[in-house]
A and B are shown apart, each in its own frame.
Chain A
Amino acid sequence: MKKDCLDIGSIQEFMDGELDQRRIASVSDHIGNCDSCAMMLADAEDESAIVFPALEREFNTLVPTQRLWNKINGAIETERDNAPFWTKAWAFLKVCLINPSLAVAAGLLVVVALISAVWISQNNSAVRGVEIVDNKPVSVTKPVVTNSDPVVIPIRPEILSENNAAVAVRSSSSPRTERSRLVNASFSEKKEPKPADQKPAEVTLPGEDSYVKTIASLAKTVDLQKDSVMRPSEWIAYERDMAVVNDAISKMRTEVKRDPKNDSAKQVLYSSYQNKIDLLNSVSRKEELVASMK
């Protein structure tokens, strides 16, 4: 045995894993070079192999070693780190309730949170009304994009600075997604209408208003009557004829808009209006006839 050989205690600690890393390395190096210490380690391992299974129950239940304590503490730390938020919150609440001052503080915090929630919800309802109005120009003024990519509307910095105050006020109590829509709405309000966006002036022919009014009043009456007066086949014929006439009116209106001097189109338009009136009148006359025979 050399004078720097290991004692049986160190070998036992080495076996139990109770040494630090540096000491474990030196013990390992020494055992590798010292046959007597290696023999001692082998004897100790043999003894452990015999004794530990026999005394395992005693070790595990009655005498917790340092190694066991370390394992227990490590497991507690791991479990604490992996615990869900709600478990931690519940633990926090339990601590608060145990301490009266903390419980009072928590109660006050909850009350303040409830009041703020009610106040914010009321503000949101008021802001929502504004959003509906502001959303209109967004949907109208933005060009139609046919591809499937999401539409990204760049916002000019100067526009943002112009509307900074309004945006700040509105965004202070609005969620993130709503905030961006409000910014877009403000942008649309400031947008100058381009000449291409302006609707062409509505061309109204002389006497057309009276045709349109007459048709509107007749249509209102006929819509109430036609269900009771017409048979299905008549109904189909009526709808077909009405579709033909409406198509003619639509085409002629477009043509007259395009070329207001097109007298032929005007003439056809007038005659189509008259056809529509006759068609509607036919239903009214039929209703009169049916009523007179009852």
Chain B
Amino acid sequence: MKTVNRQLKLILASVLLSATPVVASAQRANPPEPPVVPSTTRARPIPYPQTQPPERYDGQNAERSIKVDPSINLSLCVTQGKVKVNGWNRDEIRVFVAGGSNFGFKILQKSSKTDAPVWLMIVAAETKPKQSSPNECLWGGDIEIDAPVNATINIKGQEVTTQIDSVKKVNVRTIGGDISASNIANGVTASAGQGDITVEDSKGAMLLESTTGNIVVFEAGPSEIGDIFKARTHGGTVSMQALDYRQLEVNSISGSVVYVGQVLSGGTYGFGTTNGSIRLTLPQNSASGLSASYGFGSFNSEFPIKVTTENISEGPVKSIIGSLGGGGDAVLKLTTNNGNILIRKQ
């Protein structure tokens, strides 16, 4: 009996031995691989090319002038510095650079009648120290330009504070630095990356854009019928006062909109912000149609409002459509996602 049991044990052991690889192979049936999760690590940003402040005042002083057509179109590029453009009643351009690069005039086009330059460019005559490639952009501590009052000024700059006064038209684009324009006769186009834009006592169509700066405009209006006022900032406040435009498009993403002025008949006034308040201060006799949408905030008006449609139910959007101050030809369109709307009397 013992022998039989021993043989049975041996057979069982042999069977188990032969089944071992089978069991082992079955154990290798891995579970399904988890889905590939994209890496959340952000690539390190490339360092932004920095200007070199210590070299601001190690340049030279230079001054040049040139006779030009009264309606000159002047272009210049500035790497860094403080640019002041002033209009004067001469058919001449004078440029003074303090502590900066030497420069020259590059005539791009002449008048067929007077043979005077109508399109002129100010270019750097030498490259900046440690600058690898030739660059037409000026640099300096102060760059002062006197130009005819009918001149059109085109400036593009990197780290530039710009002040322009008493010229016909302005077109400025900068990456950093404030832009200020006053007494502009026929329109301002200004785009500031990180800087404020201020426009004062100016006429003409306006297109003002800032990424993180504020926009302030006061006493401005159209130079021709149909001139449009557009102001847009992503992270700043738009503040307007005493504007005579009939078409305004003002928008901010995370800033407020402030308007103090009149609502002209037939005008279209669009004020919008995603995350900010809208505050209007209007004359007491103001009258217009009203369309206001607001989300997480409130709507308050010191003017009587005749409500046509109102939706104040719970939800991300509430709306009021009606007429303000008895109604009128103008349309007031106010939109904010997260902020209050307040309309006050002057």
Which residues of A are at the interface with B, using a C-beta cutoff of 8 A? 85, 88-89, 92, 95, 106, 109-110, 112-114, 116-118, 120-121, 124, 127-128, 131-132, 135, 174-175, 178, 227-235, 237-238, 240-241, 244-245, 248, 251-252, 254-255, 258-259, 262-265, 267-268, 271-272, 275, 278-279, 282, 285-286, 289-290, 292-294
**Are A89 and B253 also in contact (CB < 8 A) when A114-B21, A121-B25, A233-B194 are?**
no
The answer to whether A268 and B317 have CB atoms under 8 Å apart is yes
The answer to whether A112 and B26 have CB atoms under 8 Å apart is no
Asked if B211 CB lies within 8 Å of chain A CBs, one says yes
Asked if B86 CB lies within 8 Å of chain A CBs, one says no
Interface residues of A, dominant DSSP: helix
Closest 10 CB pairs of A and B: A264-B319, A117-B21, A113-B18, A251-B316, A264-B293, A231-B48, A227-B45, A121-B25, A241-B253, A265-B317
Asked if B113 CB lies within 8 Å of chain A CBs, one says no
Interface residues of B, dominant DSSP: mixed
Min CB gap B137→A, angstroms: 6
Closest A residue to B333 using CB positions: A267
Q: In whole angstroms, how far apart are the Cα atoms of A198 and B179 in the complex?
A: 55
| B17 contacts across to A, CB distance below 8 A | 89, 109-110, 113
| A116 contacts across to B, CB distance below 8 A | 21-22
| B13 contacts across to A, CB distance below 8 A | 85, 88-89, 92
Asked if B46 CB lies within 8 Å of chain A CBs, one says yes
Q: In whole angstroms, how far apart are the Cα atoms of A214 and B266 in the complex?
A: 33
B residues contacting the other copy or chain, number (CB 8 A):
56
Asked if B101 CB lies within 8 Å of chain A CBs, one says no
The answer to whether B27 and A175 have CB atoms under 8 Å apart is yes
Which residues of B are at the interface with A, using a C-beta cutoff of 8 A? 9-10, 13-14, 17-22, 24-30, 32, 43, 45-46, 48, 77, 79, 133, 135, 137, 156, 158, 173, 175, 191, 193-194, 209, 211-212, 232, 234-235, 251, 253-254, 272, 274-275, 293, 295, 311, 315-319, 335, 337
The answer to whether A175 and B29 have CB atoms under 8 Å apart is yes
Min CB gap A254→B, angstroms: 7
Closest A residue to B48 using CB positions: A231
| B14 contacts across to A, CB distance below 8 A | 92, 106, 109
The answer to whether B48 and A254 have CB atoms under 8 Å apart is no
The answer to whether A234 and B274 have CB atoms under 8 Å apart is no
Q: In whole angstroms, how far apart are the Cα atoms of A106 and B135 in the complex?
A: 87
The answer to whether B211 and A268 have CB atoms under 8 Å apart is no
| B295 contacts across to A, CB distance below 8 A | 251, 268
The answer to whether A262 and B317 have CB atoms under 8 Å apart is yes
The answer to whether A293 and B156 have CB atoms under 8 Å apart is yes
**Are A237 and B274 also in contact (CB < 8 A) when A255-B316, A286-B175 are?**
no
The answer to whether A124 and B28 have CB atoms under 8 Å apart is yes
Known: A248-B337, A252-B316. 7 other contacts (CB 8 A): A112-B18, A113-B20, A121-B25, A228-B48, A241-B253, A255-B316, A259-B315
The answer to whether B274 and A248 have CB atoms under 8 Å apart is yes
Q: In whole angstroms, how far apart are the Cα atoms of A267 and B135 in the complex?
A: 46
The answer to whether A113 and B19 have CB atoms under 8 Å apart is yes
Min CB gap A260→B, angstroms: 13
The answer to whether B43 and A227 have CB atoms under 8 Å apart is yes
The answer to whether B253 and A245 have CB atoms under 8 Å apart is yes
| A135 contacts across to B, CB distance below 8 A | 32
Min CB gap B280→A, angstroms: 18
Q: In whole angstroms, how far apart are the Cα atoms of A294 and B49 in the complex?
A: 11
**Are A282 and B29 also in contact (CB < 8 A) when A88-B13, A113-B22, A267-B335 are?**
no
**Are A275 and B235 also in contact (CB < 8 A) when A88-B9, A114-B21, A254-B316 are?**
no
The answer to whether B45 and A235 have CB atoms under 8 Å apart is yes
The answer to whether B193 and A293 have CB atoms under 8 Å apart is no
The answer to whether A272 and B274 have CB atoms under 8 Å apart is yes
Q: In whole angstroms, how far apart are the Cα atoms of A88 and B5 in the complex?
A: 13
Residue of B19, B275, B311 near A244 (CB, 8 A) is B275
| B26 contacts across to A, CB distance below 8 A | 120, 124, 174-175
**Are A244 and B274 also in contact (CB < 8 A) when A234-B194, A237-B212 are?**
yes
Q: In whole angstroms, how far apart are the Cα atoms of A252 and B317 in the complex?
A: 8
**Are A241 and B293 also in contact (CB < 8 A) when A109-B14, A175-B29 are?**
no
| B212 contacts across to A, CB distance below 8 A | 233-234, 237
| B24 contacts across to A, CB distance below 8 A | 117
